[in-house]
Structure 1
Amino acid sequence: MRARTSARLGADFGKLWTASAVSNVGDGVTLTAGPLLVASLSDDPVLVAGAVLAQQLPWVLFSLVSGAYVDRLDRRRLIVGVNLVRALALGTLCAVIAAGALTVPLVYVVFFLLGTAETVADTASAALLPAVVAPELLAGANTRLMATFTVGNQFAAKPLGGWLFTVSAALPFGFDALTFVVAAALVSAMRPLPLAAPPGPSGGLRADIAEGVRRLWRHRLLRTLALSMGVGNLMFCGAFAVFVLYARQRLGLSEVGYGLLLTAFAAGGLLGTLTAGRLWSRFGATALLRAGLLIEAATHLVLALTTRPWVAAAILVVFGTHAMVWGVIVVTLRQRAVPGGLLGRVTSAYALLDVSGAALGSLLGGVVAHALGITAPFWIAAGTMLVVLAVAWRPLGRADAQAPGPAVAG
């Protein structure tokens, strides 16, 4: 069955999938080694956290602009170009580390460039997929892409990044640079694909961006999903901004226990990628999306109440499963509902709400926990997600009509 499915998805998808798998491992290595690199220069927690912010900030600043260019330019060549830019940035970082001239501001600059390139590459990849596989196979293709992210980025890359850094501070970033070169070569080997929209007079960048935002806002189901996840990310990141302290103070876990707790979340994500297609075929999109919002509320409620690590681990497995199933459905629905010439802009507008909610939650979570206690963000998140579920309940009823189940189980 899997061999027949892969054949139906086609050789071009195989190249895109392999490129995604390779670059996801490299990304995970850099995400692990980056904080270690900054920590080797300074023990100031603000400076260490700043490296994460430097890579997230471009999503807030440039995601809409990136989406507009994704709809204007050849998406395949765009992915190749930004992957080579990322390889060059990481190669430069390696050279500076080897020369002993590294500074914290330079790390910030490189990470900001990586984040900026990521806004283009991720948006272009999501928008390119409908031109590579048939509409009825999008769910299976998205499931496979998310599975490679979970296995490569969340499982394989984390220990690899830490080990490479112990061998040499420059080695993880050189490894990541190489993965981007390989990914660029794979995508460049795909057959030329038609532009999302024929070239012609444009109303300008601002008009292009506004058109994408309007399309998202006027589509009731997509708007509901975007706002639900914007609020969901605000609540999740607000609660999990203090998760390391929660694990220590509330659950009594050591650093090793905290790491195992995060692994439970990743294990749930892997389970979600393995079961998303079958769950969608059996229960339908509407039931799974509504259940997903209920799981969001239940996760925060259980974490607010429990003091037992195994209970926290169990609910994180459930949450991780939901997150992947939700992601497969939403990405596939968006790819089916939005015309190809608008897909980059609608995807970037959706991503802006997601990332803005996450960034704001990360900023507010520590303040709330400091003022009201370590479980306060979880209580607030549980109540808020129940409200989101009530508001979104009816609009989500349209999901089955607009996102029929996958033709092939993921």
Structure 2
Amino acid sequence: MLRTRPTTEFTGYLAAWTSSALGDGLRATALPLLASSLAAGPRGVAVVAAAGGAPWLVFGLVSGVFVDRWPRLRMMVAVQLTRAAALGALAALVAADLVGIPVLVVVAFVLGTCEVVFDVAAHSALPSIVPREQLQKANSRLLLGEISMAELAGPLIGGVLFAVAAVLAVAVNAAAFLVAFGLLALTVGSAGRPEPREPGSIGQDLRDGARWFFRARTVRAISVLSVAVNLASGGFLAILVVLARERLGVGAVGYGVLVAVGSVGGLIAGAVGDRLAGAGQRRAICLAAGPVIAAAFLAVGVFPTWPVTALALAVWGAAATLFNIVALSFRQAAVPDEMLGRVTAVHRFLVWGALPLGALAAGFLADAAGVTAVAPAAAAVVAVGVLAVWRPLSQAPRDQFAL
């Protein structure tokens, strides 16, 4: 049996998560701006961005093995301290005017590695912090904090701080992770500790996790749909700035509003996600999210205007967030605790890997057929994903979605 903690301890966990999300949002702005300020050109900026994303490909799967072996909250504490130290060192180098692209590549890779471990450990630790029946409520609040900080407040604050002084943006970024470290340190206990077991080799543990994932029909189906949605979303968002400029006739402000609208849709979904808590409602969300997202992309393809695109992004943000809340809660409840880190790692590896692939494909498609071809193609990708998983999801027993 999992050991659960009083729900009051979730408050500290949520505060630490929110502070960490703020750090992610600050980083998302500070590092690209810092790279751009070094006159490295687009290639230099892209290399820094690639270094930040590469750890998902390098460590995405193996991270789950260690998350299933070691105390999860303690891993999260160590990761936050490492993030704060890396950014503190970067702030010192910025102040001394000793920063170049190689330094930013190393820092971005370290921060990306920390993100991989933190993400897998955090999702795997939650079932030991809150009771099973409160997982959906907890995930709704966590995603609400993540969207508000990582997608809205963080990038905005980071841009303002960087405009004042680059070192200030980096230092505040370090402070956000340091606060998260302190809050998590206060939460550490037996929560998040996997059940004792005799570990095998890393390779054997990886195979066991992958085998469980691919044999679990409903868990696998939800992940397949997530991959399809991320392939489409990664492609559409990658060319959104070009679509806004060339077809919608809006500049930087209009593009910024479009990005924010998608986040606002996610915030609304996060605020109501814990209320859709019935087993039938959860299954309905899993079945409806894909068609709704496909319809949103298709609407942009058929009516490429700013109002339609804004509405479509709001719908996309709400549907994707509701689906993520339900899918995450379902997986945490369905997967055995001793296997949760590895199964989560397999899922995150596939889902996060789909984003850059979608972006790359959208770039080639836009060059070949025009930027307006991307939205219908995104709709088609999601539609294929829906068709692939409709039978296993619709035939899954209703009580399988109960928490």
User: Could you tell me the TM-score, scaled by structure 1's length?
Assistant: 0.93
In structure 1, what is the Cα distance between the partners aligned to 2:166 and 2:119? Answer: 27
Q: How many residues of Structure 1 are paired with residues of Structure 2 in the alignment?
A: 397
Counterpart among 165, 168, 176 of residue 168 in structure 1: 165
Q: Deviations over 1:275-311 (max 9, x none)?
A: 1122344961221111100012112111111232111
8 Å contact kept, 2:147–2:267: yes
8 Å contact kept, 1:42–1:48: no
* Paired amino acid for 2:249: G
Q: Residues 399 and 323 of structure 1: is their aligned pair in 2 closer, same or farther, counting only changes over 3 Å?
A: farther
8 Å contact kept, 2:300–2:309: yes
Q: Shift in Å at residue 401 of structure 1?
A: 2.3
Write the mapping of 1:165-204 to structure 2, written as runs, cut at 5 A.
Answer: 165-193=162-190, 195-200=193-198, 202-204=199-201
Q: 47-56 or 122-131: which moved more?
A: 47-56
In structure 2, what is the Cα distance between the partners aligned to 1:289 and 1:52? Answer: 32
Q: Residues 226 and 282 of structure 1: is their aligned pair in 2 closer, same or farther, counting only changes over 3 Å?
A: closer
8 Å contact kept, 1:240–1:365: no
Q: Deviations over 1:246-282 (max 9, x none)?
A: 1111111111100011111011010110111223449
In structure 1, what is the Cα distance between the partners aligned to 2:85 and 2:255? Answer: 35
Query: Are 1:331 and 2:331 matched, yes or no?
Result: no
Query: Are 1:380 and 2:385 matched, yes or no?
Result: no
Q: Shift in Å at residue 191 of structure 1?
A: 4.7
In structure 1, what is the Cα distance between the partners aligned to 2:315 and 2:6? Answer: 29
> Unaligned 5+ residue runs, structure 1?
1-7, 406-410
Q: Residues 219 and 205 of structure 1: is their aligned pair in 2 closer, same or farther, counting only changes over 3 Å?
A: same
* Residue equivalent to 1:88: 85
Query: Are 1:395 and 2:387 matched, yes or no?
Result: no
Q: Deviations over 1:6-48 (max 9, x none)?
A: xx96232111100011111121011112111111012522221
* Residue equivalent to 2:75: 78
Write the mapping of 1:182-331 to structure 2, written as runs, cut at 5 A.
Answer: 182-193=179-190, 195-200=193-198, 202-281=199-278, 284-331=281-328
Residue 200 of structure 2 aligns to a residue whose secondary structure is coil
Aligned-pair identity (%): 36
* Residue equivalent to 1:39: 36
* Paired amino acid for 1:278: R
8 Å contact kept, 1:284–1:404: no
* Residue equivalent to 2:19: 22
8 Å contact kept, 1:23–1:176: no
Query: Are 1:134 and 2:131 matched, yes or no?
Result: yes
Q: 183-192 or 212-221: which moved more?
A: 183-192
* Paired amino acid for 1:403: F
Q: Deviations over 1:177-227 (max 9, x none)?
A: 112122111111125115312153x22111111111111111001111112
Q: Deviations over 1:112-138 (max 9, x none)?
A: 100001111111111111111100001
Q: Shift in Å at residue 49 of structure 1?
A: 2.2
Residue 243 of structure 2 aligns to a residue whose secondary structure is helix
Q: Shift in Å at residue 67 of structure 1?
A: 0.8
> Unaligned 5+ residue runs, structure 2?
none
8 Å contact kept, 1:280–1:288: no
8 Å contact kept, 1:83–1:183: yes
Write the mapping of 1:43-122 to structure 2, written as runs, cut at 5 A.
Answer: 44-122=41-119
Q: 238-247 or 215-224: which moved more?
A: 238-247
Q: Residues 279 and 137 of structure 1: is their aligned pair in 2 closer, same or farther, counting only changes over 3 Å?
A: closer
Residue 60 of structure 2 aligns to a residue whose secondary structure is helix
Query: Are 1:148 and 2:145 matched, yes or no?
Result: yes
8 Å contact kept, 1:9–1:137: no
Residue 73 of structure 1 aligns to a residue whose secondary structure is coil
In structure 1, what is the Cα distance between the partners aligned to 2:231 and 2:100? Answer: 32
* Paired amino acid for 1:401: D
* Residue equivalent to 1:4: none
Q: Shift in Å at residue 404 of structure 1?
A: 2.0
In structure 1, what is the Cα distance between the partners aligned to 2:196 and 2:85? Answer: 31
8 Å contact kept, 2:280–2:401: no
